[in-house]
Amino acid sequence: MHKVLVLHGPNLNLLGTRQPEVYGHETLDDIDNGLYEQAALGGWEIACRQSNHEGELIDLIQAARLDGTAAIIINPAAYTHTSVAILDALNAFDGRVIEVHLSNVHRREAFRHQSYVSLRADGVIAGLGSQGYRAALDAVMAG
């Protein structure tokens, strides 16, 4: 069975209560549960993980290199704008990479306009809220 990993970066565990005017009212569990259903319908195996720790996200990306994961959908959150280490880990991963942001980072502060992860991503979705994850998963499953 094809396998996809969804990675959520720091503070995304607070979704639903964190700046809902920017990030929406859905919780991370709401989003992940929808993705689990969508993947099952498409016949894909999926794992959704969140971490507030850069190193843990890197460990998860490294594990995905070795366990047959075909694609990574990642919202690196604030690490998007700072993490060369996450970029390096993704560069060592051979499958597809889709970068997702709930908010339209380009309409926000200038420091959010730069993404290290975009240097590796095959596709980038920003500003569609949780719909962005669903679109990313559709794209991955379409191959």
Chain contacts with ligand DQA (rule: CB under 6 A): 11, 75, 77-78, 80, 101-103, 105, 112
Burial 96-112 (b: 16+ CB within 10 A, else e): bbbbbbbbebeeeeeeb
Out of 8, 101, 116, 133, pick the active-site residue: 101
Torsion over CA: 138, 60, 90, 92 (sign)? negative
Binding-site members are: 75, 81, 88, 102-103, 112
Cα 117 to Cα 89: distance, rounded to the nearest angstrom: 10
Out of 23, 79, 116, 133, pick the active-site residue: 23
- Residue (7 or 71) nearer to ligand DQA, CB: 7
Least spacing, CB of residue 49 vs ligand DQA, in Å: 15
Least spacing, CB of residue 43 vs ligand DQA, in Å: 28
- Residue (41 or 80) nearer to ligand DQA, CB: 80
Q: What is the DSSP letter of 120?
A: T
Nearest one of 9, 46, 42, 43 to 28, comparing CA atoms: 9
101 included as an active-site residue: yes
Binding-site members for substrate are: 75, 81, 88, 102-103, 112
Cα 97 to Cα 115: distance, rounded to the nearest angstrom: 14
- Residue (13 or 38) nearer to ligand DQA, CB: 13
Q: Which amino acid is at 73?
A: I
The catalytic residues are 23, 101
